[in-house]
Structure 1
Amino acid sequence: MLHPRYIRYIKQALLFAVIWLLFGFVYSMIEQGILGNLDYYPSTKNRYDFNSSLIYSSFGSFLIGFIHGWVEVSWLNKKFGKNPLWVKIVLKTLFYLLFIILFLSILSLAINSNRFDASLLSPEVIQSFWLFIGNFSFWSVVVFIGFGLTVAMLFAELASYLGDNIFLNFLFGKYHTPRKEIRIFMFLDMKSSTTIAEKIGHAKYFELLKDCYADMSNAILETSGEIYQYVGDEIVVSWPEKTGLYKNNCIECFSLITKTFEKRKNHYTQKYGDVPLFKAGFHVGLVTTGEIGVVKKEIIYTGDILNTTARIQGECNTYKTVVLISEQLVSKLDCNESFWFKKVAKLQLRGKMELIQLYTLD
């Protein structure tokens, strides 16, 4: 199977590809509407055929959109990740403007080579290419695709603010009607956060949180986790049951996060004077998932599992451990040489008679 990080890249790149495909299709339809029954372009006298134009535009747009998306999510986002949104858009637009001109030049040569049934470097193909480059029609295409490019980048930025899965769920209305599902939750909280904030100051503490959440990202992506909420120094990560249980993804996520901070301890010690430690609570159960809100919409989860998981995480200090897991989840996990579970205590939930057996990682 592909690494979850690359699966995410492919999904994001496909979003770009679909947007470009739509713009390519719309352009072909507008072009046909303007040219009507003409079998040539009036400005360049090049031959025109609607079917071949539609195929080239659609296929070329999809392909270049996917390449654009892959470059964007795997490279450029990292380069401009710390810049304000407007700076990112301007710098990326300048970069892609050159890219677009190069792409259109190659596409024009390929189309003319096919229409003239000649090689790419034949005189008639080159002459037709220069006529196209020097004509307003070429620059109108640049502007049209540039607009599509900006829309694709704005959609990508919007998806990054909401979260990829949440954006797609909104787009396709997956939770427009509330539905029930079994999910695994991890409530991850920084130990001694109040003491750290008082020690280093609230401005620097905020920088610490940004660094922590950034360093957690790879672990969450590698284990197919979905970030549900940031609540101050607490982060809530969720998995559909099948995904979270696959290769113990949910527990592996906490393990990878712990290893990440161990590797980065010099960075945190030098910059903040201390290495942050996190405690986690895990639980699995039934939630109702759906869209809510009018002025501001969100996809939220409701159910006892959320309060229970928060309560489990809150007991970490009581039992002097960094991770507590409910028996319901332990019974579904694969106990192997990587993870051993040890009984800790039974938790009494407020207003309920049942006790929840808690485990920790041994």
Structure 2
Amino acid sequence: MSILSPKYKRDFYKILPFGIIWLIFGLIFLWIEYAAVIVLGDQKFSKSTIYLTPKIFLFASTSIFFIGCFVGFLEVRFINKYFVTKSFPTKLIGKLTIYVVLMLVIMFIFYHLAASIEMQKSVFSTEVFERYKFFFFSITNISTSIQLAFSLFVSLLYAEVRDNLGQNVLLNFFIGKYHKPVVENRTFMFTDMKDSTKIAEELGNVKYFNFLRSYYNDLSAAILNHNGEVYQYIGDEIVISWQNTKCNAAQNSVDCFFDMQQRLSEKKEEYIKNYNAFPEFKAAIHKGDVTVGEIGALKKEIFFTGDVLNTTARIQNLCNEYNSDLLISELIAKDLKTDNFELKPINNVALKGKANTINIVGVQKKVE
């Protein structure tokens, strides 16, 4: 059992690459600067530089990694959420200002620490401070600032790409997991908002867009807490996936559905106040083998294909007919702990475009 909750585990894997990126570029710049001192033999340059003894190298490597992680922590947990709805120039200038101030403070603190270690003097001594003053007005400071700015730029660029593609998608692109098609056994949940056309007409395009944004944001915690992966947002529909080999996908998917419902209901007054409308949704869950791979000529993405997706979509279309917010296939029901749920079997259901019938199950949560 994982020590971290799914949410904190996700945050950890978003923050860790910041530390790795900063460490890689930090070591590259550190070596370039050290080599320049040795080759050029510039006394002014070397006076502002702290020499790479093994002790200094260990301190520098550890510091750079944890500074990167600290920046990642600030970005993931605090700073980014304040700029989500801002324009690109506002986001750029705002983040740049915050991080420039942060970098100046970091450079001040860690240069004093490194100089103290090299000179074997107190970090508060006059000699260490004089050393920092010389460094501040030296070319070494410029090169260090460039290094930090470059590391910051690359790590923030990574974060933006990751948020647009998705955490797992970006990782799979890097490691080449889906360069060639592979077969995976997965569970899929197709959700669809009720009366979305009517709501869109009443709200208008811009307000409906904000309505959808709030809807997606409010569902995200439930999806994360039950180890779901968002495969696609299609209008007001969300397709969520679980890899069956990694968890009890049947239990997670059904629990996720009711958690999503609960989180929305807790914000009903807020939706009514802001939009005079409340989003309700229906869903279907099914599992089976799918083929996964990279696809696309002008724009690549991870693509799932297989009968399980078509079947899940067609089951979801039956929710209104059977007056059920959640329909699951018999395969899902067999793996589901039923203590908290009431199940209503519906046998020999004909699905549109399919020759064979299927057994499905309506699911309701037991009232305590």
The aligned runs of 1:1-362 (5 Å cut-off) are 1-36=3-38, 42-43=44-45, 45=47, 48-49=51-52, 51-243=54-246, 245=248, 248-336=251-339, 338-350=340-352, 352-362=354-364
Contact 2:37/2:45 (CA < 8 Å) preserved in 1? no
Q: Secondary structure at the match of 1:158?
A: helix
Unaligned 5+ segments in structure 1 are none
How far apart, in 2, do the equivalents of 1:224 and 1:41 lie?
57
Q: Secondary structure at the match of 2:47?
A: coil
How far apart, in 1, do the equivalents of 2:117 and 2:39 lie?
21
How far did residue 360 of structure 1 move?
Answer: 1.5
How far did residue 86 of structure 1 move?
Answer: 3.5
How far did residue 313 of structure 1 move?
Answer: 0.5
Q: Which amino acid aligns with 2:119?
A: F
Q: Secondary structure at the match of 2:45?
A: coil
How far did residue 48 of structure 1 move?
Answer: 1.7
Q: Secondary structure at the match of 1:341?
A: strand
Unaligned 5+ segments in structure 2 are none
Contact 2:14/2:72 (CA < 8 Å) preserved in 1? yes
Contact 1:282/1:309 (CA < 8 Å) preserved in 2? yes
- Determine what percentage of the aligned residue pairs are the same residue: 38
How far apart, in 2, do the equivalents of 1:63 and 1:318 lie?
56
Q: Normalising to structure 1: TM-score of the pair?
A: 0.94
Report the more deviating stretch, 205-214 or 306-315: 205-214
The 3 A distance-change label for structure 1 pair 247 and 182 is closer
Q: Secondary structure at the match of 1:228?
A: strand
How far apart, in 1, do the equivalents of 2:355 and 2:52 lie?
75
How far apart, in 2, do the equivalents of 1:88 and 1:242 lie?
40
Q: Which amino acid aligns with 1:2?
A: L
How far apart, in 1, do the equivalents of 2:242 and 2:249 lie?
10
Contact 1:348/1:355 (CA < 8 Å) preserved in 2? yes
Q: Normalising to structure 2: TM-score of the pair?
A: 0.92
Q: Which amino acid aligns with 1:207?
A: N
Give the RMSD, CA atoms, in angstroms.
Answer: 2.0
How far did residue 121 of structure 1 move?
Answer: 1.3
Contact 1:225/1:244 (CA < 8 Å) preserved in 2? no
Contact 2:23/2:65 (CA < 8 Å) preserved in 1? yes
How far apart, in 2, do the equivalents of 1:316 and 1:257 lie?
17
Report the more deviating stretch, 227-236 or 115-124: 115-124
How far did residue 352 of structure 1 move?
Answer: 4.5
Deviations 1:218-275 (A, max 9, x none): 1111112111111111111111114452682211111111011111111111222221
